[in-house]
Structure 1
Amino acid sequence: MDIPIFILAGLLVHCVFLVSIFDIYFSSPLVHGMTPQQTPLPPPAKRLVLFVADGLRADSLYELDSNGTPRAPYLRGILENNGSWGISHTRVPTESRPGHVALIAGFYEDVSAVAKGWKENPVEFDSVFNESKYTWSWGSPDILPMFAKGATGDHVYTFCYAAESEDFGAEDAAKLDIWVFDHVKSFFNSSRSNETLFSALNEEKVVLFLHLLGIDTNGHAHRPNSREYQENIKQVDEGVKEIASMIDNFYGNDGKTAFILTSDHGMTDWGSHGAGHPSETLTPLIVWGAGVNYPQKVTSQFFEDNFLKEWKLENLKRLDVNQADIAPLMASLIGVPFPLNSVGTLPVEYLNSSAHFKAESMFTNAVQILEQFKVKMNQKKETTLSFLFTPFKWKIVCGLKHFIAVSRMFVQTFVFQKSAVLFYSFASAGMIIVFFLLIQTCPWTYYIYCLLPVPVWYAVVREIPVIQDLATNVLSLHVGQSVGFLLISILAVEILVLSFFYRSALTVGLLVFAVWPVITQLWVQAKTKALIWTLLCVLLAIFPLMPVVGRDPNIPLVIAAGLLTLLISCFSLASLCKSENKYRDNEDLKVYFYQMFSVALSTYVVSSTHNSLKNKQGLPVMNQIISWMILVSSPVLLLLSPTFLFQRLFSILLSLMSIYLLLSTGYEALFPLVLFGLMFVWVNMEQEALQHYGLSRKPKLAFFNFTYAMDITQFRQLHLDDIRRSFFFVFFIVTAFFGTGNIASINSFDPASVYCFLTVFSPFMMGGLLLLKVAIPFVLVSCAFEAVQVTTQLSSKRYKGLFMVFFFFQVFFLYSANLYFSLTFLMSLSCSISHYVLVMSLTIFMMVMNGLAQLLTTQRLGLPRRTKHHST
């Protein structure tokens, strides 16, 4: 099998494995065809006003400031004198769309919505807005339209500001909330001269929704502990006070208006959200008005978070709810049918009504949830063979989802079998499985999961020689050496596994790497290189000990990284000019000068941009243009450089650093520089190690040419040192993965990283730039490994087999680690979904990076060059 086919096959297999986990655990929770359920008794309120302060943390609203006064005096007075309060517990992902869906529709959205940036509706769903007689909403164009598009008929109206207004670099994002308050006031004033609108506003079952995005935007731009964030809370408090007073006056203080203030999610101290930190999942809930209980005095109450004493609210009963519980609460207050897909439980303690009304509401809530179960059970019964269908009686994983998980486990274990008889037996079993799935009208993905072992088997068989080479080398050792080799291998892989849980494990590994030359002959052969290797290993070991998230921007460190890159470039360029490399010419040197200029320009743009944002002057247009130009031009300049090893690696560093600097906000700007230094020394050290095989070393790295590299496996066989090289490669890849942050966590991203390119909220664009930042260290390691393959004269195909073997062991240890917390494989799988996704994604990413590294090291763009004319 050719290498490209092998890579594509491996990529396909891992992609299927990655997709399967979402198919198993993240399928849509929605079902359709239920009968709407509505409380038969008259509701306490005719209308509901919903305030959602986007990105507002519970502690930021409830806690007192340094002077002992509340940040939101009006809302504080409400919860102390007029209404009920508590904490709304959100679920991951703590993003705006899932939060609003839980609030207004009552269910926790599946991850399929992320493919549309959580802006559009991947599936239609019911909501309180849809069940209302009329709903008017004001706020962000990212949130409001999805509830209007999902509504039946023409009774949900939206008023949105322009998307460009959501600018993290704006002078004051509180203007977004002021826009909402002003337009609500104008709306009610205009209704007095519009009989149709006035009549509609006086109907029953009316909802008014005010989406307030300013707090979230200020939190992203300035962080929740900033003056801007806290001042915005005060402005929201004043705006809510004015709107509540205006609405009460508009309706003649008829006492038929219910008010709810809450948030879709919180925010970390470093200005991000998306994961499950308490600062993100604990949001405020204050309810007052028609049908709502007054504050309940208590002598004592206990919560594990111990916030009550800090907030000075220990004597007022705190009523916590799940975020999805707010939807049935709103439906009960105004008497509309509970949203069809709601899974929320009505928090009856918030209601100030008769026991009869509470009982009827609870019964309606239960019947509405039961309707979903009945529809789901009928759907399952229709697609399952009668003799296999068992009614749900206890909490177990059942049905086809269980079957998919078992199939995927079978795939992963089967691919490492050796017997050809087993292969043919599986082929027969595959036909039976196809028939079994066909008669049950299963989705097409099920066929892939069950039949995937067939092509995988061929790939494994063709790679058996690699394993045989390794076995031959191990068996040639003495018993003690063999045992030692196995123990060291297990320990090495265990360090990789621990790094997925504790980043400090990378520090331990790098410190062990630092003494590698000392325990070998390399310290004697190349003392200078060995000393530099040790120093760089120690320096790189510092980064995993640095904070993952929560760090404050440190632009001087970014500037220092840029200047250090230029300094190193000057020395490298001087060395290149003095070299006797006959392939050097002036045209090539110009490329390096352009790249150095890009690094200098990037350093300036970062400094200038963040100074401008700090002064609330926004993102300078010229800086934005320059940033995008550098992003586009850097890869082109890279491909214009010569393909000789030293020159191409030097060019790769300059091009990638110019981009990385633009995406940095602190110490992480130094990380790729130290990482690249270690990678370059690694290439030199591996060349020194060649004498262990009796091979002559080539004189200088400058004469290695990536384009001339050939598959010369026939010149030497696999050696145990090649296992070490493969492990080094995997370890450095993991270091690139976790070196400066935990990219498995959504909230570890700092939005300020993309401010040189854009400040207006754009999830796909921002996400793409952040992924580019993550990929750059990967590219550096992958290109260095390509150089190692050239200098050590070993087939790249054999190395691919080696690091894939290491990843097999890594996945194995990830699963075994979770077995401590569960009794069965399937239970451990459900506990380690994030780790499984991480490993599969990392493997896929490595394959992609391998191909990209080959492109960046071997390809060169040709430009017309001036021809020298010689006189005769």
Structure 2
Amino acid sequence: MLAFFLIGLLVHLIFFASIFDIYFTSPLVHGMTPHRTALPPPAQRLVLFVADGLRADTFFELDENGQTRSPFLRNVVEHSGSWGVSHTRVPTESRPGHVALIAGFYEDVSAVAKGWKENPVEFDSVFNESKYTWCWGSPDILPMFAKGASGDHVYTRMYPAEMEDFAAQDASKLDTWVFNEVKNFFEFAKSNETLSAEMWAHEVVYFLHLLGLDTNGHAHRPMSSEYKENIRTVDKGIQEVISVIEDFYRNDKKTAFIYTSDHGMTEWGSHGAGHPSETLTPLVAWGAGVNGPLVGSNQQFQDDFLQEWKLNDRKRFDVNQADVAPLMAALIGVPFPLNSVGILPLEYLNNSDQYKAECMLTNTMQILEQFTVKMIHKKETTLSFLFSPFKPLPLSKGQDMLRTARLYIQQQQYDEAISLCKSLVNLALEGLSYYHTYDRVFLGISVVLGFVGWISYAFVLIVKRHTGLSQPISKLDKLPSNNHLPAVFTGAGMVITLFLLIQSCPWTYYIYCLLPIPVWYAVMKEFRIIQNVINLVLTCPAKSIGYLLLFILGIETMVASFFHRQVLTFGLLSFAGWPLLSKRFQQNKVMSLSWISFSFILAVFPLMPVVGRSPNITLVSAAGLLTVICSFIFLCSFEMAKATSVETTVSRSVYAAQVASIILSVYIVNTTHSSLAVKHGLPLSSQVISWTTLASSLLTPLLSSTFIFQRLLSINLSLMSTYLLLSTGYEAFFPLVLSSLVFVWINLERETIRFHNVSPAEKQLSMINFAQKSDSTHVRHLGLDDIRRSYFFILIPFVIVMCAFEGIQVSTRLSSNSLFLIVLVISDIMALHFFFLVKDYGSWLDIGTSISHYVIVMSMTIFLMFLSRLAETLTTWRIRLQEKIKHHFT
């Protein structure tokens, strides 16, 4: 079994990684030629302000007094600039957001995971294409653009990383630092001729990264006074900086300004997902080459923001975040970033129709060249008879459309040229997506074959080792025809390897495509067991189909719960009636009623909100005190099971220490909340005690008795201390209710089994010892009820339930690995289901959510492998201090 778990861990890690190779491969291609508009640009320089973590609604809305928090920028929106909402993509993090804004493409997750300060992949950007770029801000963002630039023309000025303190009373000092540094820079340039000459050059960019809002949002949440006041600080700082810049350039009207954000933030102070509060960011542009405000209706927008923001009489122009990069390039006349997929938002440009058409043509050529390079690369690495080109856009058609667009421009038919270019851009972007996902079906089939093979092998292993259906090897198994299996699978592996070699596939493709070979070989070696299962099903087809449908219904219920949490309530309410289905449970009405009651209480939790807007420490305190009371009641209900006096003393001391730890946790939660409420930060004593509690939570139970209920109580008390420290409201009651339910579960499961040839002590549940080795002759085979037990467990895979699950296996005399194998099969079937539900179309929220479901289930499967070993350690191991104490006294 150890070998099985190690191999299983490796296989699941491969399945886990496959989703990133299939859906999160880098979209970048290299080898393109830069394209720029030949006409002179309207702006000589550009200033980019990025307010990190700024939500669109918080920026545009009016405060409780009907006043704007950004008077300067609000005046720009109403009188001198264009505005709209920039729509970001997941993950809504700082690095991918800035890459989209400045480089024009949406960075894949694998690149994000490789580092923040480094530039893990080479990509072009507006900064790289500029003559000079000066940047001020965070050390987490600026270095990646400086390192990725060719030559030495991107200069950065960063504050120390220590300044980014989430526990600080007010993080707006980060933005104040940037504004002061910019003003000092321009003041210094007045006396430095070399620097001044560079700053007066064309194609110059100034980038101000303002991290204060993001830091204040994390620390105090976006609805806090700190966050809202930070918006005012940024507005005032921008006004002052613009005054300094205009003064330096003698108000030459050659500077363009853009104000936006990399991502928003939830009301809870988090970001990274696809909620509108995270994906909607403000965009305000003004200055040279930018349109002024347009009066008109905004009927194309279905949201209620315009009415709330009091801007329904000013034309709103929304963009995708990557569209900002081509806008900046068009304003100062630099080449469009080579890897940009943004489409130039012409509504923001204030220039001649010819210039707009020329810029749109340049944008089209830049995107079409990416399509061409990617298509040629895919064609060269694919066997000619297998290559399937993107039929809507052959290369000849793209070139014909470009020639036609140029002809329209020469004939001054600018609208027709722009319309044709937009059509070609859309086709090219579709083609880019087509070739980017070209291998997706091929890889998907390989992963599915591996998935199904692994599930089949786990099923065969369950039947072979834990049921009575396995039979000894017969003469048929020794026939020469069956000896051809190794040759057949080896030949298949060689053919697949040769196929991948010819196409110069990445090394990961070999893993995904060759993995099914050994897995299915292991399955086919046990074909006789599969035949036995089929024969058993055929003897009772109606009953077998009924159980199969019930099994599928259970799995689909769990899958549905990922989309609708309320489904879990339905499942728990269904569980509540389980004791009523068997007359055997009528013999213990107390436990049956307890199961029903706790199931009903637990069913309330999925109906509660995921997070609250404000913490309720009173509920956390009440949960802690109720846990202490229940612990005393539990200890009084069960006697120490034939323990020595020394052992009893040690165990009681352990429980007393754990109860004291719970009381201390309640105190720490209250003091920490009070300290943060008055902006005093996190007390050092709270940090020390919290980390000590966490470190000791998995060690303290090893000091307690290994009798089933005493050890489970110790584990629950230990974990409850840590859970309280992480709670902010009603969720603190969850582990208490859950623990009560699993204690009842163990009692009820024990009563479903009738044992023979066991001692009277073993028949008493409280006398079962985790550390006692079971007699292998008394270990029973799996039954249909064991599938139900595995299904119950997997609904809530926490340490508490895992340890209780270990107790179920011990108390029902089942092999310690049998139920867990069923759990793995159920988990893998769910993961396979989510693999088919992964989307690469629709909104980015839908795409991100579908992928996260697969990752969660796969992570859970891997996590359960480790958790099972942890549960075995927590329940069976013991640090026997009582022996040392006894030896000391003797």
For this structure pair, what is the TM-score category when the shorter chain's length is used for normalisation? 0.7 to 0.9
Q: Which residue does 2:772 correspond to in 1?
A: 708
How far did 1:214 drift?
1.6
How far did 1:574 drift?
4.5
Q: Which residue does 1:170 correspond to in 2?
A: 168
Q: Which residue does 2:720 correspond to in 1?
A: 657
Q: Which residue does 2:815 correspond to in 1?
A: 795
Cα 1:535/1:357, change in 2 over 3 Å: same
Work out which of the residue numbers 407, 417, 436 in structure 1 matches 2:446.
Answer: 407
How far did 1:348 drift?
1.6
Q: Is the 8 A contact 2:253 2:287 kept in 1?
A: yes
Work out which of the residue numbers 344, 365, 380 in structure 1 matches 2:342.
Answer: 344
Work out which of the residue numbers 62, 65, 70 in structure 2 matches 1:64.
Answer: 62
Q: Which residue does 1:15 correspond to in 2?
A: 13
Query: How many residue pairs were aligned?
Result: 818
Secondary structure of residue in 2 paired with 1:141: coil
1:92-131 equivalent positions in 2, closer than 5 A: 92-116=90-114, 118-131=116-129
1:763-774 equivalent positions in 2, closer than 5 A: none
Work out which of the residue numbers 592, 602, 606 in structure 2 matches 1:530.
Answer: 592
Q: Which residue does 1:775 correspond to in 2?
A: none
Q: Which residue does 1:147 correspond to in 2?
A: 145
Q: Is the 8 A contact 2:213 2:231 kept in 1?
A: yes
Cα 1:458/1:703, change in 2 over 3 Å: farther
2:557 is the alignment partner of 1:539 = no
Work out which of the residue numbers 500, 504, 517 in structure 1 matches 2:566.
Answer: 504
Q: Distance in 2 between matches of 1:255 and 1:472?
A: 86
Q: Distance in 2 between matches of 1:33 and 1:61?
A: 41
- Amino acid in structure 2 at the alignment position of 1:412: F
Q: Which residue does 1:302 correspond to in 2?
A: 300
Q: Which residue does 2:46 correspond to in 1?
A: 48
How far did 1:804 drift?
3.2
Q: Is the 8 A contact 2:297 2:315 kept in 1?
A: no
Secondary structure of residue in 1 paired with 2:156: strand
How far did 1:791 drift?
0.4
- Amino acid in structure 2 at the alignment position of 1:706: F
- Amino acid in structure 2 at the alignment position of 1:793: R
Cα 1:11/1:381, change in 2 over 3 Å: same
Work out which of the residue numbers 833, 841, 851 in structure 1 matches 2:869.
Answer: 851
1:522-601 equivalent positions in 2, closer than 5 A: 522-575=584-637, 580-582=642-644, 584-601=647-664
2:782 is the alignment partner of 1:718 = yes
1:324-473 equivalent positions in 2, closer than 5 A: 324-394=322-392, 399-414=438-453, 416=456, 425-457=488-520, 460=523
Work out which of the residue numbers 830, 835, 845 in structure 2 matches 1:810.
Answer: 830
Q: Which residue does 1:749 correspond to in 2?
A: none
Q: Which residue does 2:406 correspond to in 1?
A: none
How far did 1:357 drift?
1.9
Q: Which residue does 1:865 correspond to in 2?
A: 884
Q: CA RMSD in A?
A: 3.0
- Amino acid in structure 1 at the alignment position of 2:449: F
Cα 1:440/1:346, change in 2 over 3 Å: same
Q: Is the 8 A contact 2:86 2:281 kept in 1?
A: yes
Q: Which residue does 1:748 correspond to in 2?
A: none
Q: Is the 8 A contact 1:466 1:802 kept in 2?
A: no
**Per-residue Cα deviation, 1:134-157 (whole angstroms, up to 9, x for no partner):** 222222221112212212222222
How far did 1:457 drift?
2.8
Q: Which residue does 2:235 correspond to in 1?
A: 237
Q: Is the 8 A contact 1:126 1:339 kept in 2?
A: yes
How far did 1:481 drift?
5.1
Q: Distance in 2 between matches of 1:474 and 1:515?
A: 28
Q: Is the 8 A contact 1:136 1:158 kept in 2?
A: yes
Q: Is the 8 A contact 1:713 1:795 kept in 2?
A: no
Cα 1:188/1:861, change in 2 over 3 Å: farther
- Amino acid in structure 2 at the alignment position of 1:671: F
**Per-residue Cα deviation, 1:818-844 (whole angstroms, up to 9, x for no partner):** 99x99xxxxx99995443333322222
- Amino acid in structure 1 at the alignment position of 2:867: M
**Per-residue Cα deviation, 1:653-711 (whole angstroms, up to 9, x for no partner):** 12212222222222222212211221122112111211288978734444322222337
**Per-residue Cα deviation, 1:456-514 (whole angstroms, up to 9, x for no partner):** 2355468889978987987787x765554344333323322221221111111111111
Q: Distance in 1 between matches of 2:836 and 2:114?
A: 35
Q: Distance in 1 between matches of 2:486 and 2:650?
A: 58
Note the residue ranges of structure 2 that are not aligned, 5 or more in a row: 393-429, 461-480
Q: Which residue does 1:732 correspond to in 2?
A: 796
Q: Distance in 2 between matches of 1:195 and 1:463?
A: 83
Secondary structure of residue in 1 paired with 2:752: helix
Secondary structure of residue in 1 paired with 2:85: strand
Secondary structure of residue in 2 paired with 1:518: helix
Q: Distance in 2 between matches of 1:554 and 1:463?
A: 57
**Per-residue Cα deviation, 1:24-78 (whole angstroms, up to 9, x for no partner):** 1111111222222222222211211111111111111112223322221111110
Q: Is the 8 A contact 2:46 2:255 kept in 1?
A: yes
Cα 1:473/1:691, change in 2 over 3 Å: farther
- Tell me the TM-score normalised to structure 1 length: 0.88
Q: Which residue does 1:667 correspond to in 2?
A: 730
- Amino acid in structure 1 at the alignment position of 2:128: N
Q: Is the 8 A contact 1:595 1:651 kept in 2?
A: yes
Q: Distance in 2 between matches of 1:301 and 1:119?
A: 42
Secondary structure of residue in 1 paired with 2:604: helix
Cα 1:715/1:658, change in 2 over 3 Å: closer
2:740 is the alignment partner of 1:677 = yes
Secondary structure of residue in 2 paired with 1:103: helix
Q: Which residue does 1:259 correspond to in 2?
A: 257
Q: Which residue does 2:412 correspond to in 1?
A: none
Q: Is the 8 A contact 1:137 1:208 kept in 2?
A: yes
Which deviates further from its counterpart, 692-701 or 328-337? 692-701
**Per-residue Cα deviation, 1:230-286 (whole angstroms, up to 9, x for no partner):** 222122111111111121112111111111000111112222211111111111100
Q: Distance in 1 between matches of 2:529 and 2:689?
A: 48
Note the residue ranges of structure 1 that are not aligned, 5 or more in a row: 734-777, 823-827
How far did 1:621 drift?
1.6
Q: Distance in 1 between matches of 2:169 and 2:36?
A: 47
Q: Distance in 2 between matches of 1:38 and 1:311?
A: 37
Q: Which residue does 1:628 correspond to in 2?
A: 691
Considering Cα pairs closer than 8 Å and 6+ residues apart, tell me whether 1 or 2 has the greater RCO.
1
Secondary structure of residue in 2 paired with 1:865: helix
Q: Which residue does 1:491 correspond to in 2?
A: 553
Q: Distance in 2 between matches of 1:301 and 1:91?
A: 24
Cα 1:118/1:541, change in 2 over 3 Å: farther
How far did 1:543 drift?
0.7
How far did 1:532 drift?
1.6
**Per-residue Cα deviation, 1:496-550 (whole angstroms, up to 9, x for no partner):** 2221221111111111111211221343222222222111111111111111245
2:879 is the alignment partner of 1:840 = no
How far did 1:377 drift?
2.4
Q: Which residue does 1:271 correspond to in 2?
A: 269
Secondary structure of residue in 2 paired with 1:138: strand
Q: Distance in 2 between matches of 1:809 and 1:403?
A: 20
Q: Which residue does 1:781 correspond to in 2?
A: 801
Q: Distance in 1 between matches of 2:756 and 2:804?
A: 21
1:508-519 equivalent positions in 2, closer than 5 A: 508-519=570-581
Q: Which residue does 1:206 correspond to in 2?
A: 204
Secondary structure of residue in 2 paired with 1:388: coil
Q: Is the 8 A contact 1:522 1:530 kept in 2?
A: no
Cα 1:447/1:691, change in 2 over 3 Å: same
How far did 1:578 drift?
5.9
Secondary structure of residue in 1 paired with 2:698: helix
